[in-house]
């Protein structure tokens, strides 16, 4: 009586690994008798099987690395030489953000504390998402968060405190893509982190507040 074939558990294996293993087993039965040729073919089959096995985990690890590379987590403060009400009035209108943040193409206030954001990704693609206002205290704090189904997970919190006749602005911003295609990930890994450029953009706030303020 022929012994039953073993059952392979594939829940944790890439399907390509199973295919490679089966192909390798079939190959063994067809190998020529000469040891040198046989050993060479076995080595090649082993390489293929290992390559198939690690390909899935490697891709997933690379994707995670790409996402981490594109994550921006900023906390900093600076002083704007304008009074709090003026700075708050400018920043509380999210549609003003693309004026001083280069990565943002457009922000639209859609009402009821919601807004639609459009930005350029590190690889030149356009990303769009909706956000909701999470905090709003006049002349004190504004906060926002992307909706759960958005392609990016982003939060922002800006606090405004008097500093004499000027305004101390405290910024906390986090931005991270939720998923990443492998090609996009590999390109993202080659890109420099955008945190520094984002901070540099936000620190230009004073100039734009002055330009939009009444004479």
Whole-number average pLDDT of the chain: 73
Is the pLDDT reported for residue 24 higher than 70? no
Sheet with 72-80: list strands edge to edge: 72-80, 166-177, 152-163, 141-146, 126-137, 114-120, 104-111
Q: Given a cut of 50, is residue 36 above it in pLDDT?
A: yes
Structure confidence at residue 122 (pLDDT): 64
205 versus 186: which is more confidently predicted?
205
pLDDT of residue 157: 97
User: How confident is the model over 178-186, as a mean pLDDT?
Assistant: 48
What is the structure's pLDDT at 42?
A: 52
Residue 189 pLDDT more than 80? no
Does residue 119 register a pLDDT over 60?
Answer: yes
pLDDT exceeding 70 applies to what percent of the chain? 57
Task: Return the structure tokens found at 210.
Answer: 């002055």
pLDDT score of 39 more than 70: no
Higher pLDDT, 56 or 34: 34
According to the model, what pLDDT value does residue 115 have? 98
Residue 131 has pLDDT above 60, yes or no: yes
Per-residue pLDDT at 79: 96
Q: In the predicted model, is pLDDT for residue 105 greater than 80? A: yes
Please state whether the predicted TM-score (pTM) of the whole model is above 0.85.
no
pLDDT tens digits, 43-59: 554 544 444 444 444 44
């Amino acid at each position: 009586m022929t012994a039953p074939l073993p059952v392979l558990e594939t829940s944790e294996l890439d399907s390509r690994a199973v295919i490679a293993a089966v192909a390798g087993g079939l190959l063994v039965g067809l190998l020529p008798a000469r040891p040198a040729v046989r050993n060479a073919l076995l080595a090649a089959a082993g390489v293929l099987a290992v390559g198939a096995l690690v390909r899935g985990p490697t891709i997933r690890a690379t994707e995670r690395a790409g996402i981490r590379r594109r994550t921006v987590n900023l906390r900093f403060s600076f002083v704007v030489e304008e009074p709090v009400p003026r700075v708050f009035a400018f920043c509380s209108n999210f549609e003003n953000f693309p004026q001083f943040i280069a990565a943002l193409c457009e922000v639209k206030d859609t009402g009821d504390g919601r807004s639609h954001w459009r930005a350029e990704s590190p690889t030149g693609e356009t990303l769009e998402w909706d956000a909701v206002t999470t905090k709003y205290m006049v002349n004190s704090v504004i906060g926002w968060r992307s909706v759960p189904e958005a392609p990016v997970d982003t939060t922002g919190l800006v606090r405004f405190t008097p500093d004499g006749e000027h305004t101390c602005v405290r910024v906390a911003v986090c931005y991270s893509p939720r998923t990443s295609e492998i090609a996009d990930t590999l390109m993202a890994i080659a890109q420099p982190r955008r945190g520094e450029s984002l901070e540099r953009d936000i620190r230009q706030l004073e100039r734009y507040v002055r330009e939009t303020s009444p004479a």
